[in-house]
Structure 1
């Protein structure tokens, strides 16, 4: 049930308090159209009747103010309460007459001997009161306090027939209550009661929020909206199930706008003879418009339009932003626009566009009118394309699509139509990837030049790749490359690079792709764009095969010389170069390129590239051991993919899900990682494409963390089979051999473990990347154990000291300390375990920190802090001494202040300097922040 009042509790309570004043009250209630004045009067009247008042009410209409003064006042004649009260009516009529003494006969004759019932007079739309009524109201208001009468008048926008008489009444209404527009939060509770449901994680209020904003706090519009929604939501008991909130809104909005349009047109006719016409033109044009544009569009006199706009503003139906006028609230404009015929709307926009073109207005101002105007207007195509490009430049792809789609209605040749379809597809990639596919297919079919053909094919490849439609991408690329080879060899090569990368995703196509990929050399590219794309792919090839890490890094730098998502270059190869940098032991560069891409793509609102850049940055965080940051970026990336229609089970999202799961498992939250995989359908059999290799590795870690070693081993070995089948034998991307070797060891198969560990170490040493070599050294060390194992771990620790792979370093130090404890080297063990605790704490890798603390306890240590470095490594006593020293106290002053010995202070400060890595007290203040 929609309540009579929404969000007017404060004003209602104020009126209640005034009503209870012993001497009566005279109140003016002011507000604009739809502010809830009438509802408040109705509510007040009901409250007063309950309290024993006789309630008399009157409501004026605009036509009433035109009555001659000799005619009976319609307002005074209507002052008859529903529940009787003849004495109250007689009293009010007598007060209105202005007579000094009461009548000597009739029901007021014994007024002095019998108490009179308290009376409340309610008057709505006072601005339209006739002259006779105004004089009567003035006399009644004068009597407040002397007689048991209260007066509450509501007044909205509109011109009075008798301004002096109205002013005389207003001066006597000593309390004013102003109704401002409702805030959305004021109706939130009511919404929750009316629409007791949620959808897609949103409450009913959140789903309705855009419409409430469009109502702009207008009580009438909000109540009409809620009534329509309530009827849609709860009406009809024969429905099999209650409709969704979005379905409800769709069903409620059309009749709502029709009702609003009817009510608004009736109100406009009261304002003036041209108000309805001016408002219709303004609603048809939409937005804020100059008076000259409104006049030209509606074929009206400019001065008439300006006067009418002033009257509409006085009625709170128009807002001004400088010289421009706009209908308000937005729902009012929408309701009026629904009543304008399509033919009239086209005429209005055509005239507006003609005027703006004659002024030389920019494309951004003219294009919105051309969108709704007739086809064939001069310069329409050029202006719409310029406006679309401007929209893309400022990050508004949906707006660009509107302009480009309208351009397709013009008379275009095949090539221009193809170009526009390509632009639409590119814009769609930034808002709705699935919707971009048919646009790009049409563009590809219509392309007549090699450049247009190649660009359409690259964009379409990106869309299909993002949705796991690799087979379609390969078929399309094969056909397009054949078309290009005879016309433009450079364009064909560029497209072939995407084809080869997509081919590596499946075993059968990878077998065919590797020979061609192995033939390619950087000098095969004929231009800069081709050279960059080829360098990016060759860096990925080198990382996959484990060929020369330094060469891979150099090639990746060339490929990424214009960033991970260069403008007007839709190739899918560039992110591969970013991954290759991580495999080559430079996660710092991976992070730099991904971070720059996040900023750049966000600024230009390139949604698909932005989501992918976030995903790459999240993975770089993981590789560096910053797992909290990895979680944040991975969640943001998944949300960005979801916004553009890329499901969390598809291509790019799968990689992001795996990154988030890795962050979970490294932090000791294996159950969260498993739940995430289950939610994303990654817990069972996985597709054979390369994108599923990473989830397979992480899933193996999840199983191992939960002591399900057989399942972990199956995942690691299956990953190895997939990589070998594609010819990706290098250890840089996924060190599956070391992981499988450790699980073999836990299952008691030492020989298999040793075979895999030895192979991994041989490949890693050939690869020459410190991180991967250290990982392989750790794998073999844990398999062989004893002194040889310690020596291998020592070498691994030296390799990663100061390296970017902080998690791997913590992991190796923990294993090194554990082995050193076992083989009786306590001092070496203590140093390694403390280092492991500190680095693991920085990373948030709690399982590693727990392992290291357990080793320290075996040595008899009792760590009192979660780390051995930084502020958190300080004990309470050390922190207290450090803070006093940072304030400038001498050692002697600190000892006296704390009632401890000087030697104790010196000992504490010495440990503080070591833990904070500072050379003296001058650096303490900064280090303690």
Structure 2
């Protein structure tokens, strides 16, 4: 039996045909299938099988190149049979065939076949029939024709003549035909259908894919690999064999990892092989297939334009490619499998691709196709197409950016700049390109915005580009370059337009850290009298004013108002200006407008998700983490910080970039307040707990948080050093506002721990004075709490009472919990027991809602009669070895009790996302995957808390 992979059913049917022939019951079998499905392999296997059984085999391969040669296929069959006969038997056979029959076989120049008259053809057919009947007595006979659709007309007549006459003859006729190809004579093939049994050959089954894989690679494939192969190759044996050969050459095992990578595979020889098979049918099919593979055209008209032919000819070619199984039969010009398309496209040279896309772009421009469709082809050709191409790319880029895809927009603008154009158009394209690149490639953004500045004359245009360029440089801590951009612009614009000059001075003041207070000759709110009206310039002015007043700690109401003006058009109106967006939301946080800040942060995250803007996503998650921290939603803050860190680590920015440093700061701060000191230490590890941090805005904020961590780790001297350095930088840069970073109160606690009460009190009182001047309740309460910490017992009560009063109704729950906890503790110590219990009970409620393990632990250390046991702490000791925090154990216990995530969130006064965040950590620590596994992991019976 022939060694053949798969096709057991088809081989069994061929065996049945041979059995019938041996029993003198001739059968005609026609195998039909798409290109590469395995018809030729099956027929070759059938020929080998027939010879093993003693058949005389006449095998012929029809060809498009020989379709004009009369009796070409017939001659191949008889030559194959007669070549095995001894000389005298072959000579006798020729005599039986007669002059015309032997002339068909020999095709002698003296008797040219093309000179045959109709009567001669009939004589040839009769002679060949007599020859066939003469050959069969000693051995059965098997005629095989591959690619029947290309068989010449006389040979088709001969086959029809044969099969309609044989009734009791040891003869088998095996034929194959490729679907989709127009046959040389449809009527003659249709006549064969009267006598033939058609067998449709489909793709490989899973078992056959596994069998071929194991045979070629020597390894049994994983189930995932088999499924991926079926999807990627369309179960086509030819494509599968090419893929497996590539894997064999690369020693790639057929495992789950390989399965994930299959969709990107494109075997080197596949494209050439497919095109060679197409070329056997028609060079025209090759041309059309290459155009479709490269251009992915939307219709026949574009394909015809690029091919330089008519639409009807292309439609016919498409119909054939569909029938051959290469194109999908869904009305679109798309290949059935991406691997085939990639293989054919990869076989096209770069020069040919370039010409195809250029032709497509010209045609689509002429027929006024949509801009994005025309631009798709312009961007893929290097040919200079003219100013129309630059204009088209400019319009398409605008559509892409508006649709939230700045990467594509930047790519289109970069291509547009390669065309010849007027200077003003080049300037506009450079500006738009730099703005688009702000989101994903700040280095290139700086390059293109700098180039655009050389073309600018109009003050308003200089304002917009200078602010954007200085922001990009600021985000990258390139402060000297940012300063030069702004100062140069001020010198150029201020004599002509004092309003724009004033805005540039304000931008310089808030953008570039400097030990010298940059002069702002006019009050910020009066630089542009129309800023409250909003609009593009009004929103820019609002963000600058919010940033300026928020840093300086002056004019609380103006900061809030200007932040709201900056955001008056929603996030969408300002999202193309990341630093101003950051300044506006920070203005709301510093003025305790936490609900508004949260709403806008949510909007940033939503817009970033919808449009895939990675850097904006990082900004949104970081801001939302800050808001959650301010409101005391610690788990949510940590969750957002982790979400910010993940994409940021994968982005193109370096580790010192503002977006990266800010995410680390947010994560460390949230983990510290949750009580996860170990996690906070791991998060800051790349920066280090000691050593000098770069003198930038972002590293100064990180310096403050690092001081908090060092304090928790017991390094009080190091904590104090970090806080004092943070303060020195902020003061030098004109940012004394404690709402920016409350470094004084934390430095005061470090001084107090070191026994320096007077120094501690001085810092705390200084912060209180600044906080009262600013007027934000949270800043004032935090400073009052620090002052209270530096006094003793009853002396602390006035400060704490004022702090509690200031925070009445505030959504800063963690800060309220801390104030009430300290107030209740002091009252308990001086004997005000009932009032103390009330304060401590309120503190417990807020601490539970925030999930603050450090505060809950402090409450748990108080006498039992001072505060009832917190629901957020377990009644019994934590199970040994779980690694859970008390709050995590409480959440896990509530899950065991049967509570849903929503119910747990309601009972603990947290968000559902916070509960999900805790459960993720719980599952990880306990090594489980689902809720039902928690009881056994905790060794707690359901219903027991």
Q: Judge same fold: TM > 0.5, yes or no.
A: yes
Q: CA deviation at 1:187?
A: 13
Are the aligned partners of 1:292 and 1:302 in contact in 2 as well (CA < 8 Å)?
yes
Find the partner of 1:71 among 65, 68, 75: 75
Are the aligned partners of 1:498 and 1:573 in contact in 2 as well (CA < 8 Å)?
no
Find the partner of 1:394 among 399, 403, 412: 403
Are the aligned partners of 2:56 and 2:140 in contact in 1 as well (CA < 8 Å)?
no
Say if 1:103 and 1:154 are closer, same or farther in 2 by CA, change over 3 A.
closer
CA distance in 2, matches of 1:187, 1:821: 81
Say if 1:279 and 1:230 are closer, same or farther in 2 by CA, change over 3 A.
same
Find the partner of 2:750 among 743, 748, 753: 743
Are the aligned partners of 1:124 and 1:155 in contact in 2 as well (CA < 8 Å)?
no
Say if 1:830 and 1:473 are closer, same or farther in 2 by CA, change over 3 A.
same
Find the partner of 1:263 among 240, 261, 273: 273
CA distance in 1, matches of 2:139, 2:212: 50
Q: CA deviation at 1:650?
A: 1.2
Are the aligned partners of 2:439 and 2:615 in contact in 1 as well (CA < 8 Å)?
yes
Structure 2 equivalent of residue 655 of structure 1: 662
Are the aligned partners of 1:408 and 1:417 in contact in 2 as well (CA < 8 Å)?
yes
Structure 2 equivalent of residue 87 of structure 1: none
Structure 1 equivalent of residue 641 of structure 2: 634
Are the aligned partners of 1:667 and 1:846 in contact in 2 as well (CA < 8 Å)?
yes
1:871-882 equivalences under 5 Å are none
Q: CA deviation at 1:803?
A: 0.8
CA distance in 2, matches of 1:715, 1:348: 62
Structure 2 equivalent of residue 673 of structure 1: 680
Say if 1:619 and 1:40 are closer, same or farther in 2 by CA, change over 3 A.
farther
CA distance in 2, matches of 1:295, 1:630: 58
Find the partner of 1:326 among 328, 331, 334: 334
Find the partner of 2:523 among 510, 520, 523: 520
Structure 2 equivalent of residue 282 of structure 1: 292
Are the aligned partners of 1:422 and 1:456 in contact in 2 as well (CA < 8 Å)?
yes
Say if 1:565 and 1:656 are closer, same or farther in 2 by CA, change over 3 A.
farther
Structure 2 equivalent of residue 406 of structure 1: 415
Structure 1 equivalent of residue 816 of structure 2: 809
Is residue 477 of structure 1 aligned with residue 472 of structure 2?
A: no
Q: CA deviation at 1:567?
A: 5.0
Show structure 2 runs of 5+ residues with no match.
21-26, 85-129, 253-257, 876-886, 911-945
Say if 1:564 and 1:838 are closer, same or farther in 2 by CA, change over 3 A.
same
Q: CA deviation at 1:487?
A: 4.2
Q: CA deviation at 1:434?
A: 2.3
Q: CA deviation at 1:697?
A: 1.8
CA distance in 1, matches of 2:310, 2:422: 41
Are the aligned partners of 1:544 and 1:730 in contact in 2 as well (CA < 8 Å)?
yes
SS in 1 for 2:334: strand
Are the aligned partners of 2:233 and 2:239 in contact in 1 as well (CA < 8 Å)?
yes
Find the partner of 1:782 among 789, 801, 804: 789
* Residues 442-466 of structure 1, C-alpha deviations (whole Å, 9 max, x = no match): 2223335444444333332232222
CA distance in 2, matches of 1:618, 1:54: 82
Say if 1:700 and 1:758 are closer, same or farther in 2 by CA, change over 3 A.
same
CA distance in 2, matches of 1:521, 1:873: 50
CA distance in 1, matches of 2:629, 2:573: 25
CA distance in 2, matches of 1:483, 1:336: 57
Higher alpha-carbon Rg: 2
* Residues 529-588 of structure 1, C-alpha deviations (whole Å, 9 max, x = no match): 444433333333333333242332223223332345635974834422321322222222
CA distance in 1, matches of 2:749, 2:856: 20
Give me the CA root mean square deviation: 5.7
CA distance in 2, matches of 1:348, 1:400: 23
* Residues 749-797 of structure 1, C-alpha deviations (whole Å, 9 max, x = no match): 3333233223333333333222122212222223323123244334323
Structure 1 equivalent of residue 561 of structure 2: 554
CA distance in 1, matches of 2:479, 2:210: 48
CA distance in 1, matches of 2:908, 2:387: 75
SS in 1 for 2:477: coil
Q: CA deviation at 1:294?
A: 1.8
Structure 2 equivalent of residue 89 of structure 1: none
Q: CA deviation at 1:193?
A: 12
1:112-127 equivalences under 5 Å are none
CA distance in 2, matches of 1:471, 1:183: 67
Are the aligned partners of 2:58 and 2:77 in contact in 1 as well (CA < 8 Å)?
no
* Residues 139-190 of structure 1, C-alpha deviations (whole Å, 9 max, x = no match): 9xx99xx9xx9x99997765667645875798475x9754489999999999
Are the aligned partners of 2:30 and 2:198 in contact in 1 as well (CA < 8 Å)?
no
Say if 1:387 and 1:728 are closer, same or farther in 2 by CA, change over 3 A.
closer
Find the partner of 1:724 among 703, 728, 731: 731
| Number of positions where the alignment pairs a residue of Structure 1 with one of Structure 2 | 806
Is residue 366 of structure 1 aligned with residue 335 of structure 2?
A: no
CA distance in 2, matches of 1:741, 1:566: 42
Find the partner of 1:461 among 470, 476, 493: 470
Q: CA deviation at 1:658?
A: 0.5
CA distance in 1, matches of 2:469, 2:415: 22
1:444-455 equivalences under 5 Å are 444-455=453-464
Q: CA deviation at 1:310?
A: 0.7
* Residues 37-84 of structure 1, C-alpha deviations (whole Å, 9 max, x = no match): 8899999999x9xxx99999999855299565643549997999xxxx
Are the aligned partners of 2:61 and 2:145 in contact in 1 as well (CA < 8 Å)?
no
* Residues 451-503 of structure 1, C-alpha deviations (whole Å, 9 max, x = no match): 44443333322322222222221122222332233444444333333322222
Show structure 1 runs of 5+ residues with no match.
81-96, 109-120, 197-203, 235-244, 887-912, 918-929
Q: CA deviation at 1:657?
A: 1.5
Are the aligned partners of 1:838 and 1:867 in contact in 2 as well (CA < 8 Å)?
no
CA distance in 2, matches of 1:184, 1:822: 80
CA distance in 2, matches of 1:731, 1:370: 54
